[in-house]
Structure 1
Amino acid sequence: MFGDMMNMMGKLKETQKKVEETRKRLNTVLIDEASSDNKLKVTITANREIKGLEIDDTLLEDKEQLEDYLVLTLNKAIEKATKVNEAELAAAAKEGLPNIPGMDMFK
């Protein structure tokens, strides 16, 4: 029984390491999002860090319109990044978890 517990602890540490490696890798996964008319483009990492913005000059003439564009496009980019992030981290966690009864929430 003690050996099983040590083996389980080792697997959990290995899983934790895989999750951390996945988090680091997600910093390099870039997601591009654009407004429907391509006047605003956003680049964000899968860890939801904004890496770039491209704003069409016509949007600079109307502050309120620019703000609306930013809110809508950034929210779409964050939503996509969150889906990628959650899927990748869940896969990394599931891969290394031991088969513990009642802990099938990652399946």
Structure 2
Amino acid sequence: MFEKLMAAQKQAEEIKKRLDTVSVFGEVEGGAIRITATANKAITAVEIEEEFYKQADKEELEELLLTAINKALAQAEQVSSHEMQAATQSMMGGLGGMFGQ
């Protein structure tokens, strides 16, 4: 039983490492603002087109940045949930023997 739990923990750590290598994006205004994050919800880049930046006012820029960040984080959550769900199903198959299934 302990070995199966250790294997499950190792698999979770591997998934976390893999999610660090998956990039997700949030864009607004047709890509004028683009946020890049990992599937572990770490923001890795913020890009704002220079022309858009010159024309936008502070409040508009702040609001659009929040929207783009939230889009990127929502996409990261979706990817992370999908990976964890797949791993959980795989682990439950392996742990079934512990419960007499």
Same-fold status (TM-score > 0.5) = yes
Q: Which runs of 5+ in 2 are unaligned?
A: none
User: How far 1:29 moved relative to its partner?
Assistant: 0.3
User: How far 1:11 moved relative to its partner?
Assistant: 1.2
Give the number of the structure whose residues are more often helix, by fraction: 2
Cα displacement string for residues 18-54 of structure 1 (whole angstroms, at most 9, x for unaligned residues): 0111101100000122114211011110000011111
Residue identity (%): 35
| TM-score using structure 2 length | 0.83
| TM-score using structure 1 length | 0.78
Instruction: List structure 1 runs of 4+ shifted beyond 2 angstroms.
Output: 57-61
For residues 40 and 3 of structure 2, what CA distance do their matches in structure 1 show?
A: 27
Number of the residue aligned with 2:53: 59
Q: Which moved more, 1:52-61 or 1:69-78?
A: 52-61
Number of the residue aligned with 1:4: none
Q: Which runs of 5+ in 1 are unaligned?
A: 1-7, 102-107
SS in 1 for 2:45: strand
Which amino acid is the alignment partner of residue 59 of structure 1?
Answer: Y
Number of the residue aligned with 2:71: 76
What count of residue pairs does the alignment treat as equivalent? 94
